[in-house]
Structure 1
């Protein structure tokens, strides 16, 4: 089959995928599997090999990332329901002072965004932003905009978030190096995004009267046009893979536990919330272990006992497993939770990530089909002839898919499947592949707009109308995505 025919099949497959997700509202997991089967058959993959190809794509992807995503979700859930996330944010506000409260909330969004999924973190921190805005009588957007953008940045760039984990595995990058390079890159992106948001929020934007009343304790004026014209009673939340689910925000609470029995209920003899230092230590522990494993493999002599120990402890699955145990003890058992309650809290983290894991696996199937059918090589040939560097192609492809269908996770997984043959042909080093993964994250961060459930979640909670959301949230996330790509490009000559 000619390259032209294969490319037309690939284009038709991607177009069908977008139509199924956007117009037909098919769940992304189902859409990816259906399109993968259709592309495989159209491209001439023998029917006898079809099931094997699907199983290899699903198993090869989930064998690496399913455990990581599940353990990461458990860590975030324990921190959330123990009250540790809210306590951490309040401690930062106290440490930064009232004048730098927006920066404190931005830092809280960045740090808590590592273990906590975007939509959960936004629900936890938005009530704190409400309270600070009410006390200061300043616009809510001053606090909420940089805070939300910081969490979305971490969601797009860093493991253990599903898109970043899937990309790292698919293209053969090293997770430790992605963290080693990605954490400072992400921190700079968040800081520059904070400075951009300060300029953007110098002017005031129309605010939904109901949200205004919720934040400032004032009754809405029925004669005022609130723009969006709806209360935040039911907002669309991004479940991490492009599917909108309804989440009811609770501005006076700090958790969104769907099961009341799982609500944080420490023993009365341990009434204090987790300390700032404890929460911070639990967040950075797996990161440090993974980095130690990566450094050990690159610095210590092969065959060294210490290197072997660091390699085991630094394996992402082991590092996260250790941190789950520490969270269960320090934030749970030591504060009065019994074993059954700890098990229930950990188990409650899994339903919300089950579909994310399946979507990641279906993305692996799509990538496997592209390789098995020869489409991957055909795409690699075309991309090679463009003359664009792999880093640029990674960013632009992820950005285009993100803009087209809305989900960061789906955009990243699909980009990895499309570009993997080209990256293998380019024979890039592991550090270079890690930068390519970060460039994809930059593309996945940008252009959050009306087809992104996360856009609706933020704008509804912040009381913004559609136009104001595009002028603030969309512009800021796109600016930060471009900044992230520029930073990865600046690091490229150094690796």
Structure 2
């Protein structure tokens, strides 16, 4: 089959995928599976090999990422229900002082965004932003905008979030190097976003009267004990793991004394440190070294997260009065919301396998090579285009990885370069969060913004931060 025919099938497949998700409102997992089968048959994959191709794509992807996503969700759930997230955020506010409260909430969003999904983190921290805005009588957006953008940045860039994990696995990047380079890159992007948000929030924006009343007590009056409103996200999501109802830990979940700031911080960074130590050990210690072998095992992402789950269960659960049944219940409650995320990631792996098996991947690689554009720029632009077209950051990342993997393998890049490519894809997936993104609706409704204001603030900020993230990866490229 000619390259022109294969490329036509690929373009038609991506267009059909977007139509199914955007117009027909088909769940992304189902849409990806349907399109994968259709593309495979149209491209000439033998019917007898179709099932095996699907199973290989699903198995190779989920065999690596399913455990990581599930364990990461468990850690986030324990920190959430133990009251650790609220305690951590309030401690930062106290440490930074009232004048730097927006920065404190931005840092809280960045740190808590590592183990906690974006939507859940927004649910946890938005009531704190409400309370601070009510006490200071300042616009809610001053606190909420950089905080929300920080969490979305982590969601797009770093493991154990599903898109980042799936990309690293698909293109052969090292998750340790993605973290080693991605954490400082993400931190700089978040700080840059905080500075940009300060300029964006200098002017006053219209606010939904109902949300204003909830935040400030009553319209035009201070005081009151307003609680944040319930909000259900709409539109295509990253797998349906958001249930946007603002809640705080119940008395049965946490005792009167919340976890300490050092305890929560230590539990968040433990798996990151283990993974980074393994990466450093593999690059500095002699092959066959006992210490290198130990670090390699402890720093394997699933092992590091499993260790952290046990530590969270003990320090945030058992030591604070949770019995074994309750700890098991809390861990189990983290799994249903991420089940669809895992399946979407697996379906993305199927799509990527189909592109390779059908020869479409090589045809795309030929065309992209002839453009003369650097692979880093291609990764950013492809992810950006898919993010803008269909809304989901996770779907954009997974689809981009499937499209570009043959080109990346042909380019014979180093592990460090592949890790930067993964971060460039994350930068594209961060940008252009707008009306087809569930996260956009969730943030704007909770912040009381209308559509136009959301586009002028949230969409502009995420786009500027995404471009800054790409610029940083490009600056690091000559160094690896």
Relative to the length of structure 2, the TM-score reads: 0.97
- Where does residue 233 of structure 2 map in the other structure? 236
Aligned equivalents of 2:381 and 2:148: distance in 1? 23
1:271–1:246 distance in 2 versus 1, CA, 3 Å = closer
Task: After TM superposition, give the deviation of residue 242 of structure 1 in Å.
Answer: 5.3
- Where does residue 457 of structure 1 map in the other structure? 442
Task: After TM superposition, give the deviation of residue 241 of structure 1 in Å.
Answer: 1.4
Matched, 1:380 2:377: no
Task: After TM superposition, give the deviation of residue 271 of structure 1 in Å.
Answer: 2.5
Aligned equivalents of 1:361 and 1:6: distance in 2? 23
Task: After TM superposition, give the deviation of residue 237 of structure 1 in Å.
Answer: 6.4
| Cα deviation 1:322-359 (Å, max 9, x = unaligned) | 00000000000000000000000000000000000000
- Where does residue 265 of structure 1 map in the other structure? 252
1:402–1:239 distance in 2 versus 1, CA, 3 Å = closer
Aligned equivalents of 2:450 and 2:253: distance in 1? 40
Is the 8 Å Cα contact of residues 119 and 238 (structure 1) preserved in structure 2? no
- Where does residue 318 of structure 1 map in the other structure? 303
Equivalences, count = 474
| Cα deviation 1:342-398 (Å, max 9, x = unaligned) | 000000000000000000000000000000000000000000000000000000000
Aligned equivalents of 2:196 and 2:409: distance in 1? 37
Aligned equivalents of 1:324 and 1:313: distance in 2? 13
Pairs within 5 Å for 1:45-194: 45-194=45-194
Task: After TM superposition, give the deviation of residue 247 of structure 1 in Å.
Answer: 2.8
Task: After TM superposition, give the deviation of residue 248 of structure 1 in Å.
Answer: 2.8
Is the 8 Å Cα contact of residues 75 and 327 (structure 1) preserved in structure 2? yes
- Where does residue 224 of structure 2 map in the other structure? none
Aligned equivalents of 1:322 and 1:246: distance in 2? 28
Task: After TM superposition, give the deviation of residue 238 of structure 1 in Å.
Answer: 8.1
Pairs within 5 Å for 1:239-318: 241=238, 243=240, 247-249=244-246, 253-255=247-249, 263=250, 265=252, 271-318=256-303
Equivalent position SS for 2:248: coil
- Unmatched segments (≥5 aa) in structure 2: 222-227
Equivalent position SS for 1:116: coil
Aligned equivalents of 1:271 and 1:466: distance in 2? 40
- Unmatched segments (≥5 aa) in structure 1: 222-230, 256-262
Is the 8 Å Cα contact of residues 242 and 406 (structure 1) preserved in structure 2? no
Equivalent position SS for 2:233: strand
| Cα deviation 1:160-190 (Å, max 9, x = unaligned) | 0000000000000000000000000000000
Relative to the length of structure 1, the TM-score reads: 0.94
Q: What is the root-mean-square deviation of aligned Cα atoms in Å?
A: 1.5
Is the 8 Å Cα contact of residues 238 and 393 (structure 2) preserved in structure 1? yes
